[in-house]
Amino acid sequence: MSQVDVSRRGRIAVLTLQRPEHGNRVSQQMAEEVTAALERARREPEVAACVMTGCGDVFCLGGDYQGAGPTTAGRMEFARAFIDMSHAMSRLGKPLIAAVNGNAHAGGFSIVVACDLAIAAEDATLGLPEAAKGLFPFLALAIVKDALPKKLLFDVVYNARLMSAQEACALHLVNACVPRAAVLDRAIEAAERASSHDPDILMLGRDFYYGMRGVGPSEALDKSRFALGAALAAHDRSGRQ
């Protein structure tokens, strides 16, 4: 049974995480289905942008590491699938919006951070509560670490502290807080606005942004030169002034 529902709202693909009885926790199967859906969306010209949301009252409460079983091999496969999903999000080449319909904890919080934009329910909480369960947010931390100042990051991690949607908005982790019933529509509106420009230029620019992460200034400037050249060539082909 599929754990991700993919539907269309006009030019926008909506990916809904579908394990509400498990807090929409990301299993290996779910991660692989999200990866496949995002890779399809990158290839399909009729899809202008993607929205990720959760089924029911939560967005995602993290990764289902328990479902990976007790063996190291199973756990490594789960981690591999989660990492592949994160890479697919960065490689989408089109706007990716989180419709945070409820709580986003642990790996679910990292999914929100990994999206380009996020619209959150005003009663949602976000954070990294793994320490309260004797764990540490290893996979999530790799994604979230650049989104928060160090002191705030460790405050959230060490205290297993959950932020309100309003605090997350003030920290620019989400773009807006709205009533829960309006989250998906607002996220789709944001996706439509973000994708209203030349898709070739958007793909080049988004790929450039994600390709710059973790590289030094000199390499980033080199990448910018080639990205600009490709963008100007695409601009010329479009015939725009």
Which among 67, 31, 188, 62 is positioned nearest to 125, based on CA atoms? Answer: 62
Would the pLDDT of 240 be above 80?
A: no
The whole-number pLDDT of residue 232 equals: 77
Would the pLDDT of 97 be above 60?
A: yes
Would the pLDDT of 239 be above 70?
A: no
pLDDT digits (tens, 9 = 90+) for 22-33: 999 999 999 999
Rounded mean pLDDT of the chain? 93
- Alpha carbons 35 and 41: distance in angstroms, whole number: 10
- Alpha carbons 98 and 119: distance in angstroms, whole number: 6
| Chain centre to alpha carbon of residue 46 | 21
